[in-house]
């Protein structure tokens, strides 16, 4: 049973940040990044798992060496990197990691990168961000708000042309003019709300990086990372597609694939336990169960495993199924067009696992881990602390359970960082931050309900006519009449009839209230839209971003 982790919620207030644990201890609490690093190192030291012919700690040491070297080389291809001269000391220092897709994410996500840098400085370690280019690029467009607090709308502005859904790893720029003009187009649309977004000065760097990287996601990620260098961050980056090609990582991948059925069962058992704990119905939340497919005669069942597969010629991610029915061989297939025979079994040597997985790349085939396996690799083999956002932290409770089921050991714990930043619209719309159209709408609806059941309260203040007084007396006579079985139906009917007769005389009050409902509902939608926290970080002025992102160093 995994150790219970606190449920985190994104802060609601503009400019608020969640950093758990804090960079330094405070307010009488000993919790901080130093204590988390120490705790995680103790947890990892307790692992008795053997991966192939290596103890886990041996594989960890080798992986950290490879990851740091490759990440430094990759990062140095587009920005300056200060490599420590004492490599052994570098490997021994704490590594703090995070990761996200290479898209235009909101400032609360970007805050992770700044916390990553602050954490690493505090513990004297290395900050490493994974560019999750193995995730899918579904749409190359971002939402942009237009309008006023009385009537606002979203416009989705493309930063590249339409293309079939594919992993970021494969996604090129397909519409050069659309891509090159995005900064100008989005800035022009934003100008009535945000006169000086950082986008205008930053997007030319994205265009420049696209000419070098030839990939849409890497262009965005590298340009963002270059900006972080100007803002003072000393972090390394590495695409997940590069991470999973490392020989040491391939050893862990091969070990997991050699136990495909066990991984399949641990994954589904962790999902089932999660649904029971949180009383979730259905088998699609938070992620779908892995399925079993019948094989051919003498072939045995195919167990779905948490990887994706595609070919360079057809970069559509497909689910992966494993079959170990043939001695000495692991069959992997999408059960459509791809079928691979790999010498990956518990009995074969790790060197064969590595060679087999490397040959897939030579044949233009990509086998990539899904999200839970990606963070499992990062947390077990590399990171002393992995930094999640709210969503990743929720999903990685499943990873904790899977690790415990496969190894019998408690996995290292993670940090959680996020924040909320609204577009700075107070100068454009004074009073927007303090407005509460939802509260006003609730008050109007409460009054309409009160008018329906207590219309006498909403009649004109002038002396009431004898007819109105008679209706009110009759209503209250019936209200005060006990609802006995013989009178209950008539009592209800009489009260309702009195209310309807009185409401007819309060029609002007009802119409006046009704007239406010739709404008207020429109204001509620508009205000919620303008105060959204999901707008790309590059839509904000640099001064606003600096205040929000630059954490105090301890």
State residue 4's pLDDT score: 57
Q: Is the pLDDT of residue 440 over 90?
A: yes
Confidence of residue 369 (pLDDT cuts 50, 70, 90): very high
388-416 average pLDDT score: 90
List of domains in the chain:
17-135+214-240+371-426+539-549 (3.40.50.620), 141-210 (no CATH), 251-367 (no CATH), 437-530 (no CATH)
Confidence of residue 6 (pLDDT cuts 50, 70, 90): low
Residues 490, 148: Cα–Cα separation, whole Å = 52
Burial of 541 (0-12, 13-18, 19+ CB in 10 A): middle
Confidence of residue 466 (pLDDT cuts 50, 70, 90): confident
217-222 average pLDDT score: 98
DSSP, res 288:
P
Q: Is the pLDDT of residue 53 over 90?
A: no
pLDDT (tens digit, 9 = 90+) per residue, 163-198?
A: 999 999 999 999 999 999 999 999 999 999 999 999
State residue 554's pLDDT score: 39
Which has the closest alpha carbon to 17: 419, 537, 547, 387?
419
Three-class secondary structure of residue 482 per DSSP: coil
pLDDT (tens digit, 9 = 90+) per residue, 467-522?
A: 888 888 888 888 888 888 888 899 999 889 988 888 888 888 889 999 999 999 99
Q: Kindly report whether the peptide bond that precedes residue 286 is cis, defined as omega within 30 degrees of 0.
A: yes
Three-class secondary structure of residue 311 per DSSP: strand
Which has the closest alpha carbon to 120: 56, 80, 69, 68?
68
Question: What share of the chain in percent tops pLDDT 90?
Answer: 74
Residues 309, 285: Cα–Cα separation, whole Å = 23
pLDDT (tens digit, 9 = 90+) per residue, 311-351?
A: 999 999 999 999 987 888 999 999 999 999 999 999 999 99
Q: Is the pLDDT of residue 35 over 80?
A: yes
Token pair belonging to 1: 């049973």
57-77 average pLDDT score: 95
Residues 63, 57: Cα–Cα separation, whole Å = 10
Residues 459, 467: Cα–Cα separation, whole Å = 13
Three-class secondary structure of residue 149 per DSSP: coil
Residues 6+ positions from 245 with CB-CB distance below 8 Å: 358, 361
CA 303 to chain centre: 28
Q: Is the pLDDT of residue 296 over 70?
A: yes
Token pair belonging to 46: 């307790």
291-300 average pLDDT score: 83
Three-class secondary structure of residue 438 per DSSP: helix
Three-class secondary structure of residue 192 per DSSP: coil
State residue 28's pLDDT score: 58
Residues 200, 402: Cα–Cα separation, whole Å = 45
Helix residue ranges per DSSP H, 124-259:
176-190, 199-213, 216-230, 240-243, 247-258
Which has the closest alpha carbon to 189: 169, 217, 222, 159?
159
State residue 553's pLDDT score: 43
State residue 61's pLDDT score: 92
Asked if 252 and 374 count as a contact pair (C-beta separation under 8 A), the reply is: no
Residue 419: phi and psi, rounded to 5, are -165, 175
State residue 526's pLDDT score: 95
């Amino acid at each position: 049973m995994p150790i219970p982790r606190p449920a985190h919620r994104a802060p609601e207030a503009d400019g608020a940040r969640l950093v758990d644990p804090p960079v330094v201890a405070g307010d009488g609490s000993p919790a901080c990044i130093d204590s988390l690093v120490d705790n995680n190192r103790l947890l990892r030291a307790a692992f008795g798992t053997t991966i192939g012919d290596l103890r886990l700690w041996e594989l960890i040491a080798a992986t950290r060496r490879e990851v740091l070297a490759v990440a430094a080389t990759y990062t140095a291809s587009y920005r300056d990197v200060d490599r420590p001269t004492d490599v052994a000391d570098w490997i021994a220092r704490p590594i703090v990691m995070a990761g996200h897709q290479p898209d235009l994410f909101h400032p609360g996500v970007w805050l992770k990168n700044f916390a990553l840098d602050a954490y690493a400085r505090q513990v004297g370690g290395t900050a490493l961000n994974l560019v999750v280019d193995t995730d899918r690029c579904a749409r190359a467009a971002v939402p942009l708000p237009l309008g006023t607090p009385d009537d606002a709308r979203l416009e989705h502005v493309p930063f590249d042309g339409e293309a079939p859904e594919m992993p970021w790893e494969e996604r090129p720029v397909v519409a050069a003019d659309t891509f090159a003009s995005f900064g100008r187009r989005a800035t022009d649309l934003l100008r009535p709300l945000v006169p000086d977004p950082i986008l205008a000065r930053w997007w030319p760097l994205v265009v420049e990086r696209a000419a070098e990287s030839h990939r849409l996601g890497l262009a965005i990620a590298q340009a963002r990372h270059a900006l972080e260098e100007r803002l003072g961050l000393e972090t390394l980056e590495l695409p997940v597609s590069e991470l999973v090609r490392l020989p040491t990582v391939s050893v862990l991948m091969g070990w997991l694939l050699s136990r495909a059925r066990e991984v399949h069962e641990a994954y589904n058992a962790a999902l089932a336990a999660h649904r029971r704990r949180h009383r979730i119905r259905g088998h699609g939340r938070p992620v779908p169960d892995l399925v079993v497919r019948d094989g051919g005669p003498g072939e045995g069942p195919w167990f779905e495993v948490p990887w994706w597969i595609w070919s360079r010629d057809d970069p559509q991610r497909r689910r992966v199924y494993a079959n170990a029915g043939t001695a000495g061989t692991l069959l992997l297939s999408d059960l459509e067009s791809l079928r691979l025979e790999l010498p990956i079994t518990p009995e074969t040597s790790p060197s064969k696992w590595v060679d087999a997985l490397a040959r897939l790349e030579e044949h233009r085939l990509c086998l990539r881990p899904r999200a839970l396996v990606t963070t499992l690799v990062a947390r077990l083999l590399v990171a002393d602390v992995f930094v999640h956002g709210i969503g990743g932290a929720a999903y990685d409770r499943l990873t904790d359970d899977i690790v415990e089921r496969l190894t019998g050991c408690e996995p290292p714990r993670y940090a959680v960082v996020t924040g909320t930043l609204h577009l700075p619209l107070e100068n454009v719309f004074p009073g927007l931050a303090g407005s509460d159209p939802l509260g006003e709408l609730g008050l109007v609806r409460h009054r309409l309900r009160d008018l329906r059941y207590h219309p006498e309260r909403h009649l004109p203040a002038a002396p009431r006519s004898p007819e109105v007084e008679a209706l009110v007396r009759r209503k209250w006579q019936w209200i005060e009449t006990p609802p006995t079985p013989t009178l209950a139906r008539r009592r209800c009917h009489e009260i309702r009839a009195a209310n309807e007769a009185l409401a007819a005389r309060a029609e002007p009050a009802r119409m006046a209230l009704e007239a406010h409902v739709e404008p207020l509902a429109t204001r509620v939608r508009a205000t919620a839209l303008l105060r959204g926290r999901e707008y790309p970080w590059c839509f904000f002025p640099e001064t606003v971003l600096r205040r929000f992102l630059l954490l105090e160093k301890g």
